[in-house]
């Protein structure tokens, strides 16, 4: 039986790297922390595209969140597709693997947090109802996301 155990990762756990659509050549590019050891939301970031060589640096004190673009340069996420009348999206491959593991699982387990009990900010408990629904045949959307031209 496929089992999913909550790792208590929140959405911010996946924001150290964004796979985005390059605005210059339409290829898959990356937005990531310049210093991989500094994963603070306001740590300097770099956009880079291997296909066309474009590069840009971000180091501000304000970010704007919108789930289908990255928080820093606001470029469209590479991993997004229409599915069940909604937009299925993922920041990066690790985020996509998390969603896929959750969806494929027949048994989904979570335990209360030691300090806060059942009130927790984990991504597992915050996924939209249309993703959590066992009756929704949208797993093919996850496959579509992972089938793109990924560097």
- Which residue, 36, 4, 2, is CA-closest to 17? 36
Single pTM value for the model: 0.79
Lowest model confidence (mean pLDDT) among 16-20, 65-69, 72-76, 129-133: 129-133
Q: Find the mean pLDDT for residues 50-79.
A: 93
What the block records as the tokens of 5 is: 């155990």
Query: Distance from CA of residue 135 to its chain's centroid?
Result: 23
| pLDDT tops 80 at residue 49 | yes
SS3 71: coil
The count of C-alpha atoms lying within 13 angstroms of the C-alpha of 130, restricted to the half-sphere facing its C-beta, is 9
pLDDT per position as a tens digit, 126-149: 666 667 665 555 455 555 555 555
């Amino acid at each position: 039986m496929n089992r999913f155990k909550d790792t208590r990762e929140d959405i911010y756990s996946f924001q150290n790297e964004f796979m985005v659509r390059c605005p210059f050549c339409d290829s898959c590019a990356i937005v990531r922390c310049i210093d991989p050891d500094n994963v603070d939301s306001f740590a300097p970031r770099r956009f880079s595209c291997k296909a066309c060589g474009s590069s840009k640096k971000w180091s501000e004190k304000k970010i704007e969140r919108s789930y289908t673009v990255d928080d820093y340069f606001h470029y469209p996420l590479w991993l997004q597709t229409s599915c069940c009348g909604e937009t299925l999206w993922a920041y990066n491959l690790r985020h996509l693997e998390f969603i896929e593991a959750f969806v494929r699982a027949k048994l989904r387990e979570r335990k209360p947090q030691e300090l806060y009990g059942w009130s927790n900010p984990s991504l597992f408990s915050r996924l939209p109802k249309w993703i959590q629904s066992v009756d929704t045949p949208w797993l093919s959307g996850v496959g579509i996301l992972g089938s793109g031209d990924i560097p």
